[in-house]
Amino acid sequence: MTAGHGIFFDGAVSARQEAKIALGDTALHVTNPDGRLLAEWPFGEIEEVAAPDGVLRLARRNSGLLARLEIRDAALATAIDERAEAVDRSGSIHRRQRASVIAWSVAATVSLVLLGYYGVPALAERLAPLVPPEVERRLGAAVDMQVRGMLDKNNLGEGFECGARPGEPPGKAAFEKMFGRLERAAALPVPLRPSVIRREEANAIALPGGRIYVFEGLIAKAENPDEVAGVIAHELGHVANRDNTTTLLQGAGLSLLFGMVLGDFVGGGAVVLAARTLLQLSYSRDVELGADRYAARLMDKAGGEVRALGTMLERIGGATEPGAKILLDHPETKARVAAINAVAPKGTPVPFLDAAEWAAMRRICGGR
């Protein structure tokens, strides 16, 4: 059985499409009834997402899109199961999960003992680097749903992300070009999923698991592409330093650890608490300085303007994340800018985007 039928949601519009599915040697091909290719997903990048009984619902990992494929045909589902490593209806993933639950139970017990010695904040700093990437990714996905719900006040759903409405795709292409250059230079061990969202604050936020939201207000406040890139580089600093996971462990504390142990974050009170923590957090000065230093070095490595982040920080009062206080002309902001400017660039900067691309990116959320 290497072909069949399913229902495809492209993630841009909510309409469902009848789709033909063919399993190739290395990828799954989705075509519409007329034979037009809708999607081609390598088996290695396919993952299963939650679905009702009798439905196999698939997504492409790290694509940044919300495309879904639903399959009700049991034989076809089994054939996909055999090819896609992350789709596992026969249970080896569950066996692995049980093993990790045992490991986390031990970790939680140890953490309770350690807590007696160090207290939660210090414990979180010690634990964050030990959280396995896969657990961090699951935690990130659960928190992402909550964070999105809290940020998306007008219930725009998929339309909350800029770049898919008429006139917006060129802006999305420019944004992805900029992000790709930073991502390649950063070479982080976690796959990143960046999006621009319809929020007017000049902010950005990185969630555990590689999700990065750039608010449209940040692009509106920037005077050139490197200023946006500088703030994104700062967020990548938080990812690299795992500041977000540390903060989550501090904010939601042991309840989150138990969520990890039970392997089910979704709908848990700990996740709601965690999402609120992320949106209200203001990082300590040391943590922010650490992310700034990382950003300055990354901007240099990526061939961008190292000082652009400092210029942007001065303009927005140092408040890069949603919970941070705006401190215009504050000594703390001045100290951060001075630290960024102290990084001596090795090369001559090349702007992240040309004038036309920058103009397009400024219209990524509908031509404001």
- Nearest approach in angstroms of CB 7 to Zn ion is 41
- Residues paired with residue 9 on neighbouring β-strands, in sequence order: 16, 68
Q: Which stretch binds Zn ion (CB under 5 A): 38-46, 187-195, 217-225, 317-325?
A: 317-325
Beta strand 27-31 with 204-206: parallel, antiparallel or unpaired? unpaired
Q: Which of 252, 320, 333, 362 binds Zn ion (CB under 5 A)?
A: 320
**Distance between CA atoms of 306 and 253, rounded to whole angstroms?**
36
Q: Which is nearer to Zn ion, 320 or 333 (CB)?
A: 320
Considering only residues 44 through 83, tell me which ones interact with Zn ion, judged by CB under 5 A. Answer: none
CB of 160 to Zn ion, least distance (A): 22
Query: For Zn ion, what does the binding mask look like between residues 14 and 33, x meaning CB under 5 A?
Result: --------------------
By beta-carbon proximity to Zn ion, the closer residue of 225 and 322 is 322
Q: How far is the CB of 282 from Zn ion (least distance, A)?
A: 9
| Residue tagged 């049980």 (tokens) | 98
Nearer to Zn ion, 60 or 307 (CB): 307
Beta bridge partners of 46: 60
* Minimum separation from the CB atom of position 6 to Zn ion (A): 42
Question: Using CB under 5 A, which of the segments 93-101, 107-115, 319-327, 339-347 binds Zn ion?
Answer: 319-327
Q: In the complex, what is the shortest distance from the CB of residue 328 to Zn ion, in angstroms, rounded to a whole number?
A: 17
Query: Segment 284-313, which members bind Zn ion (CB under 5 A)?
Result: 288, 291
Q: Chain centroid to CA 296: how far?
A: 21
Could you tell me if 137 and 211 are in contact, meaning their C-beta atoms sit under 8 angstroms apart? no
Calpha distance 65→42 (Å, rounded): 15
The residue among 183 and 288 lying less far from Zn ion, judged by its C-beta, is 288
Between CA 54 and CA 71 the distance in angstroms is 9
| Minimum separation from the CB atom of position 336 to Zn ion (A) | 10
Nearer to Zn ion, 243 or 357 (CB): 243
Residue 22 forms beta bridges with which residues? 3, 29
Nearer to Zn ion, 275 or 291 (CB): 291
Exposure letters 37-75 (e unless 16+ CB within 10 A, then b): ebbebebebbbbeeeeeeebbbbbeeebbbbbbbbebee
Closest to Zn ion by CB, 196 or 291? 291
Report the alpha-carbon distance of residue 190 to residue 212 in Å, rounded: 12
- Residue 341 C-beta: closest distance to Zn ion, Å: 18
- Looking at the Cβ atoms of 216 and 288, the one nearer to Zn ion is 288
* Cα–Cα distance measured from residue 151 to residue 153, given in angstroms and rounded to the nearest whole number: 6
Q: Is 246 in the site for Zn ion (CB under 5 A)?
A: no
Structure tokens at 70: 């639903």
Least Cβ distance, residue 42 to Zn ion (angstroms):
34
Is residue 144 classed exposed, middle or buried when 0-12, 13-18 and 19+ CB atoms within 10 A define those classes?
buried
Binding residues for Zn ion (CB under 5 A): 288, 291, 320
